[in-house]
Chain A
Amino acid sequence: MMSAQEILLRVKKNVFTQKSAEHLSKMRGDGLDFCEIRPYQAGDDIRKINFSASGKTGELQTNVFNEDRQINVVICVMLSSSLHFGSVRLKNELIAEIVAHLAYSSIQQKNQTKLVFFFNNEQQVFQLDNMGSLLVATEALLNFDLLKIQINPEALSTYLVQQAKSLVFVIGDFYQSIDYSMIAHKNQINAILVRDPLEELPLFGTELSLKNAQNNSNIEVNFDKKLAKKYQSQLKIEDDKRYLHFAQHKINVGKIYTNDDVFVKLSQILK
């Protein structure tokens, strides 16, 4: 298992050497990054009226810019006992690396960055201002005792509703359905599914006693190829339902496996 410092070193190396890690907000606001020209609407800033375009069209047109002011970044980690699994590395270690990448990039851009752990009915909030606070948060995540922890699906909505408009990253294995309809219209949400290849296609090829880390219940399973495929297809049906929900609420979604390169995958998901 990598230590928090090792993770941060890797993150620094990736973010420094790859310029593409720079983040641009898709939110409309008072930035200098030109987005579009549209007809003037009541309440628009009169300083942004594009007179040249207005002259050509015969009606008032105004410039619209992307927001580039300091934005709020909230990284939400949905902690559950199911994260205590991994064939290449543990899923919570992968989450720590994802969080470190996102948070480091955000800190570099001087954004207001928060990291929130959601577990049971509690939340643990880390205000990330510098590398020191990121190191503390990464260590906390790596050392978190995940056994007997369960997700409270409503906690995320309740929390984000109370927050200012933010760029939100929700990270977890998403085995429990969460309703994003309440928060998706206000925030720009990115959902990152963290999975292990072996949990989606459990080709153990032997008889195992599977323990539920949440309640310690056991189930005897003989994992053959047929059963693994059957489970995989059932999981795919469940995931497809989740993707549909994400699509309905314009949520950007991506899946990262424990054997993936986090930086490359994050770049693909967030481009």
Chain B
Amino acid sequence: MFSFEYPYVLASIIVAFICLFFCQEKKLSIYFPHSEGLKTVVKSKQLLSNALKFLTLSLVIVALASPVTTKDIILDNSEGYEISLILDASGSMQQNNKFSIVKEIVVEFIKQRKTDKLALSIFADFAYTAIPLTYDKKSIIKILSHIEVGVAGKQKTALYEALFLSSKLFKDSQSKEKIAILLTDGKNNTDSVPLEVAIKRAKSNKIKVYTIAIGNARDFNAEVLREIAQETGAEFFSANSAQGIKDIYAQINQLEKSKININKYEKKTYYFHYPLSLALILLFLYFWQRNTWILNK
């Protein structure tokens, strides 16, 4: 990203412009006959001289403001979190526009996890990984925006399978902190993966599975979700409103706070030498057009 390290210095350009007219150096003054006739001869030259002076000063000020491009570089990700977001995209999520609300909240959550690796899994009739663990937040947000209810079917809720599948994502992970956030509004009604196997897999991979139940309490199985959370050392949350879901994600965000900046570096590329070089060239041009005593011989 292009920016200036000291942008307030740029305000000096206005001062330089004002000074061009009002802070002129005191020159030797003499009476000269027919000075009116000189005006037409010197007019164009004075304009060029002033333009060169102002441009040179402006470029020096721009150089002083230090133009830079900044790029975030994470050298060691072992200190960062790895988070798998598991979202229910079954037919029931369409009710009350639940899925869209969840998507918006999850996008905000993704934006806040600047230094963490994130993955996205979707489940309904079956579970699938939309995007594996990555630092590329833009891609996750983009993919999430394209996911709608029904992409994995509408009839069933393969909750355990999603947990199992998500656990597999952490198979080769080096990270100390592995988290899964499972959001659902229903009960598991497929038998592809048993609950015990899914929990065991999560535990063996040392994944903390936060479970979030949304909607009516009759629709989801709070006991199972609480069990998953407790077994993996996490917490179970439930909410029946958009604000409630938002608060849960904010809470998880606070609970699992990353050590920001520890392993994150900003790679800055400085560009001050370009305006400075240009200013130097213009300065030579200014001296040349002034015909200093050397050139005037």
Category for how many chain A residues contact B: 20 to 34
Known: A85-B33, A211-B35, A227-B42. 16 other contacts (CB 8 A): A85-B31, A173-B33, A173-B34, A202-B32, A206-B28, A207-B28, A209-B26, A209-B29, A210-B31, A219-B38, A220-B27, A222-B42, A222-B290, A224-B290, A225-B291, A231-B37
Decide if A221 touches B38 in the complex (CB within 8 Å).
yes
Closest to A233 in B: B41
Give the chain A neighbours of B291 by CB distance below 8 A.
Answer: 222, 224-226
Closest to A235 in B: B37
Q: How many angstroms from the CA of A212 to the CA of B40 in the assembled complex? A: 15
Q: How many angstroms from the CA of A227 to the CA of B40 in the assembled complex? A: 11
Q: A210-B35, A210-B38, A219-B35 are in contact. Are A224 and B296 (CB under 8 A)?
A: yes
- Shortest CB–CB separation between residue A77 and chain B, in angstroms? 15
Q: How many angstroms from the CA of A66 to the CA of B262 in the assembled complex? A: 114
Decide if B28 touches A211 in the complex (CB within 8 Å).
no
Closest to B291 in A: A224
Give the chain A neighbours of B38 by CB distance below 8 A.
Answer: 210, 219, 221, 231
For this complex, 15 residue pairs linking A to B, each with C-beta atoms less than 8 Å apart, are A82-B33, A202-B32, A205-B293, A209-B28, A209-B30, A211-B31, A211-B35, A218-B29, A220-B46, A222-B42, A222-B49, A225-B291, A230-B41, A231-B38, A234-B41
Cβ of A83 within 8 Å of any chain B Cβ, yes or no, is: yes
Q: How many angstroms from the CA of A82 to the CA of B31 in the assembled complex? A: 8
Give the chain B neighbours of A218 by CB distance below 8 A.
Answer: 29
- Shortest CB–CB separation between residue A127 and chain B, in angstroms? 30
Cβ of B39 within 8 Å of any chain A Cβ, yes or no, is: yes
Closest to B45 in A: A227
Cβ of B76 within 8 Å of any chain A Cβ, yes or no, is: no
Contact mask for chain A residues 195-220; partner B; CB cutoff 8 A; 1 contact, 0 none: 00001001001111111110001111
- Shortest CB–CB separation between residue A66 and chain B, in angstroms? 39
Decide if B41 touches A211 in the complex (CB within 8 Å).
no
Give the chain B neighbours of A219 by CB distance below 8 A.
Answer: 35, 38-39, 42
Give the chain B neighbours of A222 by CB distance below 8 A.
Answer: 42, 45, 49, 290-291
Interface SS, A side: mixed
Count of residues in B whose CB is under 8 Å from the partner chain = 25
Give the chain B neighbours of A83 by CB distance below 8 A.
Answer: 33
Give the chain A neighbours of B28 by CB distance below 8 A.
Answer: 206-209
Decide if B33 touches A175 in the complex (CB within 8 Å).
yes
Cβ of B192 within 8 Å of any chain A Cβ, yes or no, is: no
Q: How many contacts between A and B, using CB within 8 angstroms?
A: 89
Decide if B24 touches A220 in the complex (CB within 8 Å).
yes
Decide if A209 touches B31 in the complex (CB within 8 Å).
no
Q: A207-B27, A220-B27 are in contact. Are A225 and B33 (CB under 8 A)?
A: no
Closest to A222 in B: B290
Q: When A and B form their complex, which 10 residue pairs have the shortest distance between CB atoms, in order from nearest?
A: A82-B33, A224-B291, A210-B32, A209-B29, A209-B27, A213-B31, A210-B35, A212-B35, A175-B34, A85-B33
- Shortest CB–CB separation between residue A216 and chain B, in angstroms? 10
- Shortest CB–CB separation between residue A67 and chain B, in angstroms? 38
- Shortest CB–CB separation between residue A213 and chain B, in angstroms? 5
- Shortest CB–CB separation between residue A212 and chain B, in angstroms? 5
Cβ of B36 within 8 Å of any chain A Cβ, yes or no, is: yes
Give the chain B neighbours of A230 by CB distance below 8 A.
Answer: 41
Q: A220-B46, A227-B42, A230-B41 are in contact. Are A208 and B35 (CB under 8 A)?
A: no
Contact mask for chain B residues 43-82; partner A; CB cutoff 8 A; 1 contact, 0 none: 0011001000000000000000000000000000000000
Cβ of A245 within 8 Å of any chain B Cβ, yes or no, is: no
Q: How many angstroms from the CA of A244 to the CA of B49 in the assembled complex? A: 37
Cβ of A33 within 8 Å of any chain B Cβ, yes or no, is: no
Closest to B293 in A: A205
- Shortest CB–CB separation between residue A238 and chain B, in angstroms? 7
- Of B31, B42, B293, which contacts A221 at CB under 8 A? B42
Q: How many angstroms from the CA of A220 to the CA of B35 in the assembled complex? A: 10
Give the chain A neighbours of B293 by CB distance below 8 A.
Answer: 205
Give the chain B neighbours of A89 by CB distance below 8 A.
Answer: none
Cβ of A255 within 8 Å of any chain B Cβ, yes or no, is: no
Cβ of A242 within 8 Å of any chain B Cβ, yes or no, is: no
Give the chain A neighbours of B35 by CB distance below 8 A.
Answer: 210-212, 217, 219
- Shortest CB–CB separation between residue A144 and chain B, in angstroms? 15
- Shortest CB–CB separation between residue A151 and chain B, in angstroms? 12
- Of A91, A199, A225, which contacts B32 at CB under 8 A? A199
Give the chain A neighbours of B27 by CB distance below 8 A.
Answer: 207-209, 220
